Structure 1
Amino acid sequence: MSSHEHGSDDCVDYIERIVYFIDNELEEADCAVVEMHLRECGPCLERHDLQKAVKQLVARSCSESAPESLRDRVRLQLREVSIQITEGNA
């Protein structure tokens, strides 16, 4: 059994670090510490895997372009709001 229990205070320190670890925003020494914790802590490893999967899904979804018809409707609504604001200030 691991020395880390689900929800332990030790894991709280890693929650934010896991996000930075996934984004490759940690120093090499910090990466090593997080990797070691993930090897020893199943709940944190599950959190890491879930966050990584969500991040990949969002990245895939954000790479798609909106259909031109939707883009045209949004532009039209923005112009209408702009006109209403302009007329309200006149």
Structure 2
Amino acid sequence: MSDHHHRPEPTSEDCADFLERIVYFLDNELDEVDCSAVRLHLDSCNPCLERYDLQRTVKAVVARSCAESAPDELRKRVLLRIREVQVQIRES
């Protein structure tokens, strides 16, 4: 007899959806309902949990490696280009 409280195994479609949301989950960009859904999925799906751990580790390594700031001249050029693109978008 099966246990009615046991969650069914996640499908590949479930995993594809959750793998997309993991990035937003890591960046705290999901609402509480979506965060809870991601946590529940990670609790029941080892492959997704492993991918989550890998992405979290990579994000932490990148964050540590990006402590230096861009030179002022580069920052000014990037900001100018962003403004140019915004104007082009508004005009189209």
What interval of TM-score do these two structures reach, taking the shorter chain for normalisation? 0.5 to 0.7
1:4 equivalent to 2:10? Answer yes
1:46 equivalent to 2:17? Answer no
In 2, the alpha carbon distance for the partners of 1:18 and 1:9 equals 14
Aligned residue identity for 1:16:
E
Q: Determine what percentage of the aligned residue pairs are the same residue.
A: 60
In 1, the alpha carbon distance for the partners of 2:17 and 2:56 equals 18
Which consecutive unaligned segments of at least 5 residues does structure 2 have? 1-7, 75-92
In 1, the alpha carbon distance for the partners of 2:10 and 2:19 equals 14
RMSD (Å) for aligned C-alpha atoms: 2.1
Q: How does 1:22-61 map to 2 (within 5 A)?
A: 22-61=26-65
Which consecutive unaligned segments of at least 5 residues does structure 1 have? 76-90
Q: How does 1:79-90 map to 2 (within 5 A)?
A: none
Aligned length: 65
What SS is found at the alignment partner of 1:63?
coil
TM-score normalised by the chain length of structure 2: 0.63
1:17 aligned to 21, 24, 27, which one? 21
- Show CA shifts across 1:35-78 (max 9, x none): 00000000000000000000000000001469xxxx7xxx9xxx
